[in-house]
Homo-oligomer: A and B are copies of this chain.
């Protein structure tokens, strides 16, 4: 039956989600936003490890909650025969199984890709792990911090000559979750095109390498090793955070025209006449002096005042928002990027919304609260009966 024009892309797709904590659940959250039904299989008693991660409201983890709304939960012990039988029935009705165990774990449980693919040739298998199914580190455990360090991003983040600095979010996990989502969608398309089901093998370390922008190619061709630059861009100036009378301000005047608009808006024609600032190359070569020169003026007004002046002049700029300010931003609200969910324990749970806006496809409203462990057992078991 053809999908309706208003249907979200993955309506009718069932995801069996054995993953926990972050990379896997982030992927299945996006798949749920795209319309899939996500059935979370959790260990009886404790469930997803992230249920134990703070902060908590009335005993319920906000960390778990922001990743697992709009999903259903069933508790199954993958070593117990009855529960294994249920799992196998669920595998039989699923389109995709997702897991982020260490490579080898699913094989030990008897659910490795080879076994499953032989038994269920249409089942797509999506896996995220620290290092992937192959290579010398394959069986090692990894955490976000480990791959942020190994993958090079930490060596490029931070103030110059300061200690190594972590990206403030778990980009090791989130990067893998995004790439796993891309791989699973590619696999779903391939299956729909008649190409059969595949296993998608995504490694956190590989994804870090894929996020290095030009740093790899630059080093391998020129020998230059990328260094942390604080808030500065490695090639462009002015393109960084500046200090104002009350806080900070990003100015990104990436070419001569924008630099000229900026200098005019700041009532600083001398910046345009200074031979040291004639071209982007010269501005970048004299970036310290340019910062000092600009801040003489920028420190005379507040960030709010400068935003008004520079935005009116068409100069790309913005505040350095803390999380409280992000939640109050009118653009964030207009784009529906914070959604409210009524949760029986938390009350009003507010989480990030779906950044993928599709024309003619209404955004989901009335989200399901993040499930308690095993909360949806009956509905899930009914699904088996319906589908078989």
CA distance A286 to B316 in the complex (A): 43
Interface check A368, CB cutoff 8 A: no
What number of copies of this chain does the assembly contain?
2
Interface check A267, CB cutoff 8 A: no
CA distance A250 to B147 in the complex (A): 9
Q: Which of A84-92, A201-209, A270-278, A372-380 contacts B (4 or more CB under 8 A)?
A: A201-209
Quick check: A153 and B136 within 8 Å, CB to CB?
no
Interface check A245, CB cutoff 8 A: no
- For A250, the chain B residues whose CB sits under 8 A away are 145-146, 148-150
When the two chains form the complex, which single residue of B164, B196, B210, B349 contacts A352, counting CB atoms closer than 8 Å? B210
Known: A147-B318, A250-B145, A334-B134. A179 touches B355 (CB 8 A): yes
Q: List 22 A-B contacts (CB under 8 A).
A: A9-B195, A12-B193, A57-B221, A62-B218, A66-B213, A125-B359, A132-B357, A136-B334, A137-B330, A143-B316, A145-B233, A157-B167, A163-B230, A167-B168, A170-B213, A171-B211, A189-B189, A190-B358, A203-B355, A210-B352, A210-B353, A212-B326
Q: Which of A39-47, A71-79, A235-243 contacts B (4 or more CB under 8 A)?
A: A235-243
Quick check: B167 and A167 within 8 Å, CB to CB?
yes
Quick check: A196 and B316 within 8 Å, CB to CB?
no
Residues 1-29 of A contacting B (Cβ, < 8 Å): 1-5, 7-10, 12, 22
Listed from nearest, the 6 A-B pairs whose CB atoms lie closest are: A2-B194, A156-B168, A135-B334, A3-B195, A157-B168, A185-B185
- For A357, the chain B residues whose CB sits under 8 A away are 132-134, 200-203
- For A193, the chain B residues whose CB sits under 8 A away are 2-3, 7, 9, 12, 192
Known: A143-B316, A209-B352. A55 touches B241 (CB 8 A): no
Least distance between A58 CB and chain B CB atoms (Å): 10
Scan A167-202; emit 1 where CB is below 8 A from any B CB, else 0. 111110011001101110111111011111011111
Interface check A346, CB cutoff 8 A: yes
Interface check A123, CB cutoff 8 A: no
Quick check: A216 and B351 within 8 Å, CB to CB?
yes
